[in-house]
Amino acid sequence: MTTRKFTPIMKRGPRLSPGEINVIPPDDLGVDIPPSGMQKALPWVLGGCMLGMIAIMIFSGVRQLSPYMFMMPLMMVMGAVGLVASGGSGGKKVPEINSDRKEYLRYLAGLRTRVTSSAAAQVTFFNYHAPHPDDLLSVIGTHRQWSRASTADFYAAARIGIGSEPAVDRLLKPAVGGDLAGPAGAPQAHLEPVSHMWVTKFLRTHGLIHDCPKLVQLRTFPTIALGGDPDGAAGLLTAMICHLAVFHPPDLLQIRVLTDDPEDPRWAWLKWLPHVAHQSDTDAAGHTRMIFTRPDGLSDLAARGPHTADATPNGPYVVVIDLSGGKAGFPADGRAGVTVITLGNHRSAYRIRVDADGTADDRLPNQTFRLVASQVDTMTAGQAQRVARKLAGWSITGTIIDKSTRVQKKVATEWHEIVGAQSVEEVTPARWRMFTDTDRDRLRIPFGHELKTGDVMYLDIKEGAEFGAGPHGMLIGTTGSGKSEFLRTLILSLAATHHPDQINLLLTDFKGGSTFLGMEKLPHTAAVVTNMEEEAELVSRMGEVLSGELDRRQSILRQAGIQVGAAGALSGVAEYEKHRERGADLPPLPTLFVVVDEFAELLQNHPDFIGLFDRICRVGRSLRVHLLLATQSLNTGGTRIDKLEPNLTYRIALRTTSSAESKAVIGTPEAQYISNKESGVGFLRVGMEDPVKFQSVYTGNPYVPVVAAAGDTMHRGPRPTRRCGSTGSPQPRSWMRRWRNDDRIRAEGAP
């Protein structure tokens, strides 16, 4: 069977910003305090005193009454009236209460706009990550297929239907700190009654989001039972499996099936899912299917430790679909990285009961059933088969071609052929070319052939503005993957096609020295630095030399700018070469290709080197200092290389030990599935393009000289002298010291 390669694109989609809203309570009217006896009697006492004073004035014989004499009684009357009107309390008046009520209702109206907008965003968010089962077919083949990474929020989560969910913006009760508002939520007493009624209604209305997709996080429960109505439970399980298969790649989610009848028409569609296929075991029909009739097929899972809720598994998460009525036989505490879903009313850590009316209830241990979904999802076997058969047309590991019909196309099988020579003897300095600066073949290195088409593969280390894939890149390959051989092939191809005046090599190996053994004899090699693991002094010297070379090139550009009459320093080596081609008397300034093998171990022991690599990545583009970082593993001992990654424009992955490392380098887990027999096979990814699978050529065969026939003579010219440009003048010594002494570094000459 032939499948198409699918490269997952991990996109987060719509996002939510959870928060808390503290609802401001309405004004507290307080408790009405009844007046005391003194307060009740005071108006009558004042009234009696006033009448008594008037009577004394009349009957005392005063013949002429002055208006000033009535001032005291009038003041007493006014005080009594005011006391009666106020009732003796300090509460608010009716107009003031009405004004506050209107202001609070306007506050609730503004708050309602915010929470309704948040509710709509929440429903959109869940509909994106958990679409209706009828929409799953349209997701296949888009960037949303297999887009759920192991670190995603909904990893190993399956949709079960729609229901009520707490609002993402949590509404907190007024004057009750930290308590969530629910259907029974109510503010405290003594609040203004009308405002009190409306805030209570507001909390009950907006505390929950209705008709929102509901998901079950499988990692939380070791066992799940789907019971109730048999047809409804079967339809729900079908929808859950399809949802998991559409959004989770097969390398992160594995599905195993235990059934008494593998040919049951209700579940026969499961065999089409890529998640059911074994990653390595094959038979005459291809990859074996993990559909078992006996629990023996789950024995490797039973040997795991106990289940831990919400733990991130080391490998793919395993979902066991038990259609046999609970014969899986897993213990109550479950197994790590495994969730068993049993069809039927069985005891489990989490139970879902599907009712005949389309609703569903759930129950945790020692609790009662509660409504979990107002409308449960369902899919028929026919719908599931269409989804599964469409998924079967894709593979996470690339194109799979049946071995009986596989045709391996190659245009070249030997290294000398990909560099354009008829034999190894023809690879001589006479083949060196002085490329013009605008030549597309400059720094374009052949290293193998594409497996799909057989075309020669090239690594163009020029920068993107010069239509290349560089200037900097990363190579990863575990032990036995062919990493060292790939580096040797790359360096030999570069040295066989380019003049030493155009390219210089700085080869460093932090651990060991066999990778670049013999490369110090190449005229292109400025230095070979090896076995630095036990020599900290050598590491610091290499850092100083690299930093000095960057400074030297910047100084050369400044001096060249003065020499050619530019306003300032030249912008880069590209402008420098333009002036040379126009006849300026400037010495050659070769491109420096720096290869650092085992850079991850280098950063483990010397984390400060990340600063030097960062500087090379930033300024090396204009100075034509190209960097290739190679390693067996991305374990850098905690040193972050995030700031380097945007400048590593090409990535090469040979066989890796995990899918995480493969994804970190080329964006897909494909490099993990390269077999041990495929040494030198890998993937090249340039920018955001799809990875291209290749086979690098092998240069490690012993050299066997060509024996001349009788009467013929083999002409071997003298060993060429390294020359500079086309003038034939001897090339000056390199800007660096040439170091050789097996695994030690020794200076041969001064710059």
Residue 547 tokens read as 């930093």
* Residue 228 phi, psi (nearest 5): 85, -135
Q: How many CB atoms lie within 10 A of CB 18?
A: 10
CA distance 545 to 744: 16
CA distance 506 to 383: 60
Residues with catalytic roles:
598
Considering Cα of 97, then 98, then 104, then 105, what sign does the dihedral take? positive
- Coil, strand, or helix at residue 113? helix
CA distance 565 to 574: 17
Residue 260 tokens read as 């008494």
Contact partners, residue 565, CB within 8 Å, separation at least 6: none
Residue 239 tokens read as 């929808």
Cis geometry, peptide bond prior to residue 316 (ω within 30 degrees of 0): no
Considering Cα of 444, then 447, then 450, then 453, what sign does the dihedral take? positive
CA distance 263 to 302: 26
CA distance 216 to 349: 13
Cis geometry, peptide bond prior to residue 471 (ω within 30 degrees of 0): yes
Radius of gyration for the chain, computed over Cα atoms and rounded to the nearest angstrom: 41
CA distance 492 to 519: 9
Nearest Cα neighbor of 154 from 128, 133, 193 is: 128
CA distance 573 to 590: 9
CA distance 420 to 413: 12
CA distance 248 to 394: 13
Residue showing tokens 């290709």: 593
479: Cα within 13 Å, side-chain hemisphere: 0
CA distance 614 to 599: 13
DSSP code at position 747: B
Q: Which contacts of 83-91 are long-range, i.e. CB under 8 A and separated by 24 or more positions? A: 83/42, 83/43, 84/43, 87/35, 88/35, 88/39, 89/32, 89/33, 89/35, 91/29, 91/30, 91/32
CA distance 181 to 663: 43
CA distance 265 to 382: 9
Residues 316, 317, 323: CA angle, nearest 5 degrees: 125
Query: 242 with 136: CB under 8 angstroms?
Result: yes
CA distance 377 to 316: 26
Query: 570 with 576: CB under 8 angstroms?
Result: yes
Beta bridge partners of 5: 395
Nearest Cα neighbor of 375 from 159, 125, 218, 123 is: 159
